[in-house]
Structure 1
Amino acid sequence: MVMMGGTIAMRGNVSPMGEANVTGDPEACDKVFLSGMDVTAVGLDVTMKVRLKREHMEWLNRRRSARAAKAVSFLNRALEYYWYGNQMQNYCIDDCPLHDPLAAMYAGTTGILRTETRRARVECEGTYTRGMIVTDLREHPIPGGDIHFAVEADADRAIREFLSAFWEEESNKTV
């Protein structure tokens, strides 16, 4: 199972240490971590480093395939709201992280993320830490699940993979 959620080495986006998807139901996430499933978590640690920029979309608008015209048009409209929100929340201008798309791409593409396996639990109680993913790298770690966490991304490749779903095949060589 691949999930977009959490963070293991940076601040949260809805609380000091909590990412929105995990903080929304930390008990459920903790149960998933304890379930024994093979879980890969793609969190803010890497998604914040893979940035879709206006220039990427300008390039795509010139090269989109006929079959993807409606999808690209929708993407352009949706991104206006997303870019604005990202500017207000994170002070970024004309770019945004590819949170969910990066997790989806990882599920079907090898080599875009490097992962590390860590024993992990989700904090379900703390006033300031509810939703925090706690990993333990000690020799005798806390009881928990062994979860694969994305720790590094090939951002350029991820952006190309994302855009490739929409552009004309003959344009693939010009990125």
Structure 2
Amino acid sequence: METIKVIFDTDPGVDDAMALLFLHRAPQVEIVGVTTTFGNGRIDTTTWNALYLTERFGIDAPVASGPAAPLVGPAPPPTDFVHGANGLGDIPLPATLRRKADPRPAHRFIIDTVRAHPGEITIVAVGRMTNLALALREDPAIAGLVREIVIMGGAFGHNGFHGNVTPVAEANIHGDPLAADEVFGGIWRITVVGLDVTQRTQMTTDYLRALARDGGEAGRFIWDITRFYVAFHHAAGVADMFVHDSSAVAYLIDPSLFTTRRGSIRVVTDGIATGQTMLKPDEYNFPPGPWDDRPSHAVCIDVDTARLLSLYRDTITAA
């Protein structure tokens, strides 16, 4: 089995924590670093949570902290009404940790790691893309050295899904739209796993209860942190919990779960539609426009939800 070296770019976050455990338990994955962004919490909160998760679950990978704000403007308020004040569903957390963050800023950690392992590093990015944009700005050549980037973000209108923080924008893209547009303009190989598929996949209470029963410490932890997250979904009128970040990990492990469409991607960076993601499909010809001379990337438009949920369950509960 080929080993996939992964940098996990994240803002833990309940669903981020679930995705990190998914990566950690996947036998074909080696986590070589965790880089943090603002988003589900402020940067000090998300970095603390990443250190806590790697320490608690024995994930032998450095954690590097990213900036506290997007490329332009202040950081939006953290989504504590979704993930809790501490980002992990308000479960009790320790007052101190043994682990410390890597001294390098997250984007420099990404550059150094990619250059140390050219053609080997996959980046799974499930938060704002500020770190990736800063890495691309500082060292544009790394785009040709990254094996692949899998992004949880965006919404392209498939299956009726357009946005979750505005009618047209998904949270990760909306949180730093300029960074997203710059990243989608890079020549690296990108697959986008957006709301088009993540909101089609849901975990029921019975499913989560079975994880708690059969998944050991990780399964019980998932149950505990999802109590707050599930309550948010219920308050929003959603019967079961959407599977956002873990869908990106599922794509990495088994791309056959998904149907994709290719094209160039632009992000609206200001105005009423800020954060909207738009695909120009490769199979269509249009008059000259702002999508021209942009690289083609893959966007997930459909998913086998039953197989994805089985993959997650089997990975977490494996001895």
**TM-score (normalised: structure 2):** 0.49
SS in 2 for 1:102: helix
Residue aligning to 1:115: 260
Match of 1:74 in 2: 221
Give 2:200's aligned residue: 49
Give the match for residue 242 of structure 2: 97
5+ residue gaps in structure 1? 170-175
52-61 vs 78-87, greater mean Cα deviation: 52-61
User: For the Cα contact (< 8 Å) 1:86–1:96, is it kept in 2?
Assistant: yes
Amino acid at match of 1:103: A
Give the residue type in structure 1 aligned to 2:170.
Answer: E
1:41, 1:149 within 8 Å by CA — same for their partners in 2? Answer: yes
1:15 paired residue number: 166
Letter in 2 for 1:119: S
Does the 8 A contact of 2:259 with 2:301 survive in 1? Answer: yes
Aligned to 1:150: 300
Check if 1:160 corresponds to 2:310.
yes
Cα contact 1:52–1:97 (8 A) shared by 2: yes
Query: Contact 1:119–1:146 at 8 Å: present in 2 too?
Result: yes
Check if 1:139 corresponds to 2:285: yes
> Which one-letter code corresponds to 1:154 in the other structure?
D
Could you tell me how far apart the structure 1 residues matched to 2:318 and 2:297 are?
Answer: 38
SS in 1 for 2:264: strand
Instruction: Report the secondary structure of 2:296's partner residue.
Output: strand
Q: Deviations over 1:104-153 (max 9, x none)?
A: 111121311111102211110122x1000112234036323312000000
Q: Greater helix percent: which structure? A: 1
Cα distance in 1 between the residues matched to 2:312 and 2:241: 13
Name the CA distance, whole Å, in 2 between partners of 1:21 and 1:36: 21
Distance 1:164 1:41 in 2: 24
Q: What is the match of residue 68 of structure 2?
A: none
Q: By how many angstroms is 1:7 displaced?
A: 0.3
CA separation of 1:41 and 1:168: change in aligned 2, threshold 3 A: closer
TM-score by length of 1: 0.86
Is the 2:268–2:277 contact (alpha carbons within 8 Å) kept by the matching residues of 1? yes
Partner of residue 130 from structure 1, selected from 252, 255, 274? 274
Structure 1 residue 44 displacement after superposition: 0.2
Residue identity in the other structure for 1:96: M
Q: Which amino acid aligns with 1:139?
A: N
Deviation (angstroms), 1:166: 2.4
Q: Which residue of 2 aligns with 1:30?
A: 181
Partner of 2:232: 85
Q: CA RMSD in A?
A: 1.5
Offset of 1:168 from its aligned partner? 4.8
- Percent pairwise identity: 26
